[in-house]
């Protein structure tokens, strides 16, 4: 068994090696070096984050990270994850990474650690790893997918016509690039919509600048497939005429699209706008050559789960949030 050593990663030099390890360990969500660099460079400086890599024979074989849960921040709660290349498993790499990450956050007064794994075969060993260390399953998120070649996109013609007849126009992000308020209006709309998503979390609001980094500057975002519902009759002081939106990202390493956020203001629900936004994205992707689309919804979100089924999405996996309460060391 070849010895390994832990060290802090160096960016951008280690980005490609980290992407390779993460992609091999989690083939359902592979990443690119560009994506890894963006994650590192766009981190919110107001929150603690730390990473460790395991190096064996001059090769990065494992990577782990942990930090404040900036999406639902409490100073004592941390979110983490680790990946070990399949070729290097069974040698204590995962244990060493885990112990080092926990040591670092214990020193900061951490009382709780959260992470997420799927029920897909490649995560089975990871789930057992967590259970042995006292993690408990607390929350489920369902993954569903469809391929545009299997979707009957004309089945929604009446829906699209009805939404348009109601005065709503679906505009892609590039089509709204000339609106100087676009980013600020979307920022306000995003905050309103996320507070209505049943995620089992108390959300922390990001700054406008951080939101733009995370969302609009994300290299995975496909602006031409991401749509905003615009109702010119609305003039909300925060969201203006924007009443809903849906974003599409592209996993370049996995060659599939994924839905980020889809939502509509409370006052405008029941008009078919959310479904129309998703259909617009599906049609745009089909026109661009087609492909698979994945979406992720928390288990209590019955309305969105039902809508996705109507659109043709089928359940492919369950992703479970695991939580560990750290006991005080004696």
- pLDDT tens digit string along 212-224? 999 999 999 999 9
Determine the topology of domain 144-320 in CATH.
Answer: Aminopeptidase (3.40.630)
Judged on CB neighbours under 10 Å (0-12, 13-18, 19+), 34 is: middle
Residues 6+ apart with CB under 8 A from 260: 215, 221, 226, 246, 247, 248, 249
Q: What is the pLDDT of residue 330?
A: 55
Q: What are the sequence ranges of the domains in the chain?
A: 5-134, 144-320
Residues 6+ apart with CB under 8 A from 83: 21, 22, 24, 25, 26, 62, 63, 64
Question: Whole-angstrom Cα distance, residue 163 to residue 227?
Answer: 14
Q: Can you tell me which residue has the tokens 């733009």?
A: 212
Q: What is the DSSP string of 47-77?
A: S-EEEEEEEETTEEEEEEEEEE-TTS--TTE
Q: What is the pLDDT of residue 313?
A: 96
Question: Whole-angstrom Cα distance, residue 15 to residue 95?
Answer: 22
In the predicted model, residues of the chain with pLDDT beneath 50 are: none
Q: What is the pLDDT of residue 328?
A: 76
Please state the pTM of the whole predicted model.
0.94
Cβ–Cβ < 8 Å for 88, 4: yes
Q: What is the pLDDT of residue 198?
A: 87
Reading the block at residue 97, the tokens are 């990474």
Cβ–Cβ < 8 Å for 215, 190: yes
Reading the block at residue 267, the tokens are 């006052």
Q: What is the pLDDT of residue 71?
A: 87
Determine the topology of domain 5-134 in CATH.
Answer: Aminopeptidase (3.40.630)
Using alpha carbons, select from 33, 41, 34, 100 the residue that is nearest to residue 66.
Answer: 100
């Amino acid at each position: 068994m070849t010895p390994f050593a832990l060290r802090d990663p160096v960016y951008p030099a280690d980005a490609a090696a980290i992407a390779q390890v993460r992609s091999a360990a989690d083939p359902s969500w592979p990443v690119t070096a560009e994506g890894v660099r963006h994650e590192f460079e766009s981190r919110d400086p107001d929150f603690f984050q730390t990473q460790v890599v395991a190096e064996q024979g001059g090769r990065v074989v494992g990577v782990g990270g942990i930090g404040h849960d900036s999406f639902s921040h409490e100073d004592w709660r941390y979110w983490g994850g680790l990946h070990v290349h399949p070729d290097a498993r069974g040698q204590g790499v995962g244990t060493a990474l885990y112990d080092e990450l926990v040591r670092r956050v214990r020193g900061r007064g951490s009382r709780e650690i959260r992470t997420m794994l799927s029920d897909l075969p490649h995560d089975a060993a990871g789930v057992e790893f967590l259970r042995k260390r006292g993690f408990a399953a607390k929350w489920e998120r369902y993954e569903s997918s469809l391929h545009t070649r299997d979707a009957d996109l004309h089945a929604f013609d009446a829906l699209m016509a009805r939404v348009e007849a109601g005065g709503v126009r679906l505009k892609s992000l590039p089509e709204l690039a000339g609106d100087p308020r676009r980013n600020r209006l979307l920022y306000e709309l995003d905050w309103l919509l996320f507070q209505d998503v049943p995620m089992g979390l108390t959300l922390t609001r990001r700054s406008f600048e951080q939101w733009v980094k995370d969302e609009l500057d994300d290299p995975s975002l496909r602006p031409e497939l991401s749509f905003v519902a615009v109702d010119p009759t609305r003039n909300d002081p925060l969201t203006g005429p924007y009443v809903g939106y849906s974003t599409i990202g592209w996993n370049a390493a996995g060659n599939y699209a994924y839905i980020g956020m889809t939502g509509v203001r409370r006052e405008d629900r029941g008009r078919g706008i959310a479904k129309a936004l998703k259909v617009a994205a599906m049609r745009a992707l089909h026109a661009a050559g087609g492909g698979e689309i994945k979406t992720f919804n928390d288990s209590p979100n019955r309305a969105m789960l039902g809508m996705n089924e109507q659109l043709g999405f089928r359940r492919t996996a369950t992703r479970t949030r695991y939580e560990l309460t750290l006991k005080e060391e004696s």
